Amino acid sequence: MGFFQKIRGMLHLQRHDWIALVLSFVLATAVWMIHNLSLKYTVMLSVPVLAQCEGLDGFDSQSIESERVVARFRATGFDILQVKRYSNTNPCRVRFFPEDLHLHSSGSFYIVSRDLIDYTHDIFGESAVMDYFASDTVFFRFSPREYKKVPVVLESSVSLDPQYQFEGPIAIEPDSILVYADPLRLEHIDAVHTDMVKEKLLASSKDGMVKLRAMSGVRFSQNQVKYAIRIRRCVELEFCLKVALENVPDGHHPVMSIDKVKVVANCLFPLPQGVEKDLQFYVDARDAYESGGAAARIRLKNQPAWLLSYRIEPQVITLSE
């Protein structure tokens, strides 16, 4: 018993040394593993690949099931371990360009090895260098989708600086897109709405992109549209202008209750001096008599390009003989 007690005593006294020894062993093992995993190895592996592609008109954006891509390649141990994690239930998802997938038959698309090599890093990792693919062609099947063209509805909340005005409605391009979905869902889709475009106190025209609101189980021909807000600077001016009497029927000698009106004009800026001479207001006496009354509405003969909008006071004057 004395011998074992001495041994236990020695172990107890050297416990910190034992801890240091264990930590050193763990660290050495980690360094050894990192070193080995950093090295490149040549392997031949089969990877389940699930194809995704947004540009296949009339078909879903994801293949029905994964397909095996078998290749011999060189890569680091880290990437090889990552590739080996893929399975039929956890496939490698690869986004293909539509020009690389070729239609073989209804719903079946294929990609050849000379195009598939461009996706080497997507499938086998960033360090992978391809030797060869076991098959020259890989096929993917996509579910067909019905589609129809629907308008795009822009959702917006735009306010302008007080000195500015819209030139017209906010333009969007394109103003309609294709939507792909199963027939029952597609039947109830009449329009696609955008995310909200928000602008406060805008003082200049603006172009931008806005995303479309996603719908469950629905694919769009594109996921965003362009919008263009066109505004112009304006200024409000007041004029006191004469009113002309026109189209007086024979035998009548009407007199207007007033011959001048106050005009509040919303005009483009800058505005040359003396433009009020382009404003000609009048009343049509014949219309007033034919309508059976003496009241006549004041009208603007021609609206010049610089006049955005206007209001007059009063809007009606009385005719008397």
pTM metric for this prediction: 0.52
Residue 25 lies in a domain: no
Q: Output the pLDDT for position 318.
A: 83
Give ∠ CA 191-193-198 in degrees, rounded to 5.
155
The string of pLDDT tens digits covering residues 131-157 is 999 999 999 999 888 888 999 999 999
**Residue ranges in the chain whose pLDDT is less than 50:** 13, 35
The reply to whether 196 and 215 lie within a common domain is: yes
Q: Output the pLDDT for position 155.
A: 97
Owner of token pair 């009354």 = 293
The reply to whether 170 and 240 lie within a common domain is: no
The reply to whether 50 and 102 lie within a common domain is: yes
The reply to whether 175 and 266 lie within a common domain is: no
Strand partners, 46: 70
Separation CA 167–CA 175 (nearest Å): 18
The total of structural domains in the chain comes to 3
Q: Output the pLDDT for position 13.
A: 47
Residue 5 lies in a domain: no
Q: Output the pLDDT for position 253.
A: 80
The reply to whether 210 and 273 lie within a common domain is: no
Separation CA 156–CA 199 (nearest Å): 8
Q: Which two structure tokens, joined as six digits, stand for 151?
A: 């308008």
Residue 209 lies in a domain: yes
Cβ burial, residue 166 (10 Å; 0-12/13-18/19+): middle
Q: Which two structure tokens, joined as six digits, stand for 110?
A: 């294929």
Nearest to 49 by CA among 21, 64, 26, 68: 68
Separation CA 262–CA 274 (nearest Å): 16
The reply to whether 55 and 137 lie within a common domain is: yes
What is the CATH classification number for the domain harbouring 153? 2.170.120.40
Q: Output the pLDDT for position 189.
A: 94
The reply to whether 170 and 74 lie within a common domain is: no
- Domain endpoint, select from 167, 198, 229: 229
Domain that holds residue 219: 149-229
